[in-house]
Structures are given as structure tokens and as C-alpha cells.
């Protein structure tokens, strides 16, 4: 376990933000950590959607249960957090 800073590019928000996560966090946990700083602050919640994570500029989402340590994401790398149907 180790603290791990990522940069959140949260869909529909206006700014990139620093978000501290942990190498053992799954992508769902990363998305939830990022959501804490955007949803209900400047972005409206969408309860019928789930939040998915992808590396910045990538088209494919990372598996929801993938851990940060296994994702290839570098410290302070920007990731997109996107509202998705599944």
C-alpha cells in the first residue's frame, strides 16, 4: 500500500484536480475518490450511470476491479473519469 497521486479529469467538470488514492485501490475506488471532488460540487450526479476510468486520451476503460498498482498509471498521470452505462 502506498499513497498515489492522480490527476482527475472528471467528465463535465471544468478543471483538472489532484486526487490522492492508494496503489491498492481499484478503478471503482479511484472513480469514487475523484467523484468526491466533483459530483455535488460542480457536476450533477447521475445515479443511473456508473463511473469508469480510462487513461488520458485512451478509448477503452480500465477494468473496474483493476488495482492502481497493476494499471500502468504513473504518479500524477491524468485519468479521465467518465459516466458510462456499464
Partner 1 sequence: MAMIERTEWYDLLRATNWTPKYVTEDELFPEEMSGHRGIPIEDWETYDEPYKVTYPEYVEIQREKDAGAYSVKAALARDKFLERADPGWISILQAHYGALALAEYGAIVGEARMARFSKAPGNRNMATFGMMDETRHAQLQLFFPHANCKLDRKWDWAHKALHTNEWAALAGRHFFEDIIHSRDAISMGIMLTFAFETGFTNMQFLGLAADAAEAGDHTFSSLISSIQTDESRHAQQGGPMVKLLVEKGMKADAQRLIDIAFWRSWKLFSVLTGPMMDYYTPMEHRSQSFKEFMQEWIVGQFERSILDMGLDKPWYWDQFLRDLDETHHGMHLGVWYWRPTVWWNPRAGVNPDEREWLEEKYPGWNDTFGKCWDVIIDNLVNDRVEQTLPETLPLVCNMSNIPIVGTPADGWNVKDYPLKYKDRLYHFGSEPDRWCFEQEPERYADHLSFVDRFLAGMMEPMDLSGALKYMSLAPGEIGEDAYGLAWADIYKEMAHKKAG
User: Where on the chain is the footprint of partner 1 (CB under 8 A)?
Assistant: 5, 7, 9, 11-20, 36-37, 40-44, 56, 74-78
The residue (of 20 and 65) whose beta carbon lies closer to partner 1 is: 20
CB of 33 to partner 1, least distance (A): 10
List, in order, residues 6 or more apart from 61 with CB less than 8 Å away. 27, 52, 53, 54, 82, 84
The residue (of 56 and 65) whose beta carbon lies closer to partner 1 is: 56
CB of 7 to partner 1, least distance (A): 5
CB of 28 to partner 1, least distance (A): 19
51 class by beta-carbon count within 10 Å (0-12 exposed, 13-18 middle, 19+ buried): buried
65 class by beta-carbon count within 10 Å (0-12 exposed, 13-18 middle, 19+ buried): exposed
The residue (of 24 and 56) whose beta carbon lies closer to partner 1 is: 56
Amino acid at each position: 500500500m502506498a499513497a498515489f497521486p492522480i490527476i482527475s479529469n472528471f467528465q463535465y467538470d471544468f478543471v483538472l484536480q489532484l486526487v490522492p488514492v492508494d496503489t491498492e485501490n481499484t478503478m471503482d475506488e479511484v472513480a469514487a475518490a475523484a467523484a468526491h471532488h466533483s459530483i455535488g460540487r460542480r457536476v450533477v450526479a447521475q445515479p443511473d450511470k456508473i463511473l469508469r476510468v480510462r487513461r488520458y486520451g485512451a478509448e477503452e476503460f480500465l477494468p473496474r476491479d483493476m488495482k492502481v498498482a497493476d494499471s500502468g498509471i504513473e504518479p500524477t498521470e491524468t485519468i479521465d473519469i467518465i459516466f458510462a452505462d456499464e
